Amino acid sequence: MPENSPRSTLSVTDNRTGRQYELDVLDGNVVRAMDLRQIKVSDGDFGMMAYDPGFTNTAFTTSRVTDVDGGRGVLEYRGYPIEQLAERSTFLEVAYLLLKGELPTQAQLDGFVRGVTFHTYVHENVLTLIKGFRYDAHAMGMMISLVAALSTFYPEAKDVDDADSRAAQINRLVAKMPTLAALTYRHHRGLPYIYPENELSYPANFLNMLFRIGGRDYRPNPVLERALDVLFILHADHEQNCSTTAMRVIGSSRADPFSAMAGAMAALYGPLHGGANEAVLRMLSEIGHTGNIPAFMESVRKGERRLMGFGHRVYKAYDPRASIIKRTAEDVFAVTGRNPLLDVALELEKIALQEEYFVKRHLYPNVDFYSGLIYQAMGFPVELFPVLFAIPRTVGWLAQWEEMVQDPEQRIARPRQVFKGCEPRDYVPVESR
Ligand code: CMC
């Protein structure tokens, strides 16, 4: 952290020994955890550690990719507000921005789009792998396996210190995720696989691979194509969340990016993270209509249920992505017709924004609360929802991985523990226990 001021310090008095310590304060409010280790009661003492389950107050890395100001409800990719990017950019331009740090010139963007488009096909053996899954296999389970399997198709990906190799794997992953996602959907439906159409835009090609039946004249509705692109922009990165941390942790052992990303996807799959969009839709379907809301809310207040799609570790204000998604939903419903569960969602939000339980805990709708309603209206099955999160988040995972691989301060991720188990004891043979 070169920006630190040498005069900014924190004085600590150890009341066990009466000794005083001066710890450097970096970047305004950060102390190095390793500086605590000098605080000891005796020479043989291990030294002080910080205990932080869930990393609630631990900065694991410095980063220049994405900034979230949870108190003000602000999200910026490389300094650009999410609202401006969602309004004026495209997903692939945002991908370039996140991966390379700056918005591209037209020539740079054309080159990047060409590079991604060149890699949209997958090896034919991947189709054999897909055929091994049951017809009802969950799309995320298949995706995680397929991305891990891709590492065996590109063994050179192991060379994570080679910048050219890293760039090639990044292009491959960004390009192939929609193809893999569409294959899982077609497998589930028992439909023939559709190959990528590289003259289409990134979202249009994806929609084509999913929904085209028969001839080659399928063209997605431009409003839905744009809505999907906006949703991809909103999901592209979110700094050090659970799955990105998994990506960085696995990547820190110098695993190839396909293996690391399979781990990140597994983290995303959980219902508290990227699986929440699926959980929200299941919850809204279960509630069914507004008349059932009071009973549901009562179970949330009692702590028996969670209102899925609400709450966030970082946002203590309205998630800016949720506001944009709510507006996008109107555009989509104008084409597809209104999702009847929207009324349930709007009523839940109205109640939650007024009720003490939610207000006191700063629980606002997050990105997943309204996204599922759009996805459902567009014809995506519920089990594809986390996959629709994983496709754009691929860019964030890879931007953060690229940053981590080049960061000289990063070492293998290996936290400490506070051991509370048994004192040393002798093995007892089974007949004597
Ligand atoms: N419904 C009801 N109560 C909640 C909720 C919720 N959705 N979220 C948090 N709380 C309560 C929680 O019970 C706790 O109450 P108390 O202080 O009385 O014990 C308090 O709020 C703090 O919650 P927490 O679980 O300690 O907060 P966290 O920062 O560890 O968890 C969260 C954040 C997102 C996992 C959590 O809010 C949650 O489970 N939300 C529902 C799942 C969800 O929508 N996840 C998507 C997150 S956004 C997309 C992404 O990036 O993954």
| Closest to 352 in 3D by CA, of 366, 343, 341, 365 | 365
Provide the token pair at 149. 């399997």
Give the closest residue (by CA) to ligand 1 atom 34. Answer: 312
Q: Write down the pLDDT at residue 214.
A: 81
**Tens of pLDDT along 230-262?**
999 999 999 999 999 999 999 999 999 999 999
Q: Whole-angstrom Cα distance, residue 167 to residue 251?
A: 15
In this predicted model, what pLDDT tens digit does every residue of 49-89 receive, in sequence order?
999 999 999 999 999 999 999 999 999 999 999 999 999 99
pLDDT of residue 218: 84
Residue with tokens 């034919």: 124
Cα–Cα distance between 351 and 331 in angstroms, integer? 25
**Where do the structural domains in the chain lie, given as residue ranges?**
9-50, 116-406
**What average pLDDT does range 172-177 have in this prediction?**
98
Residue 428 has pLDDT above 60, yes or no: yes
Query: What is the tens place of the pLDDT at every residue in 318-354?
Result: 899 999 999 999 999 999 998 889 999 999 999 999 9
Cα separation of 202 and 227, whole Å?
12
pLDDT value at 44 more than 60: yes
The CB of 308 under 6 Å from ligand 1? The reply is yes
Residue 30 tokens read as 């950060």
Per-residue pLDDT averaged across 120-144, rounded?
Answer: 96
Amino acid at 335: V
Residue 3 predicted with pLDDT over 70: no
> Quick check: CB of 235 below 6 Å from ligand 1?
no
Q: Above 90 in pLDDT, residue 414?
A: yes
Nearest CA to ligand 1 atom 44: 309
Q: Which fold has domain 116-406?
A: Citrate Synthase; domain 1 (1.10.580)
Strand segments, DSSP code E, in 31-161 are 66-69, 74-77, 80-81
Query: What is residue 133's predicted lDDT score, i.e. its pLDDT?
Result: 97
pTM here?
0.94
Q: What is the number of the ligand 1 atom nearest to the C-alpha of 313?
A: 29
- CB of 126 sitting under 6 A from ligand 1: no
Check whether 1 has a pLDDT greater than 70: no
**Crossing angle for the helix pair 139-153 and 124-131, to the nearest 10 degrees:** 140
Q: At what angle do helices 367-377 and 320-336 cross, to 10 degrees?
A: 10
pLDDT at residue 216 greater than cutoff 80:
no
Residue 311 Cα, ligand 1 centroid: separation in angstroms?
5
**DSSP 8-state code for residue 424:** P
| Cα torsion 20, 26, 31, 37: sign | negative
Mean pLDDT of the chain: 95
Nearest-angstrom CA–CA distance, 384 and 387: 5
* Rounded Cα gap, residues 149 and 160, in angstroms: 17
| Residues designated as active site | 273, 312, 368
User: 46 C-alpha to center of ligand 1: Å?
Assistant: 35
Taking only the tens place, the pLDDT of each residue in 256-284 is 999 999 999 999 999 999 989 989 999 99
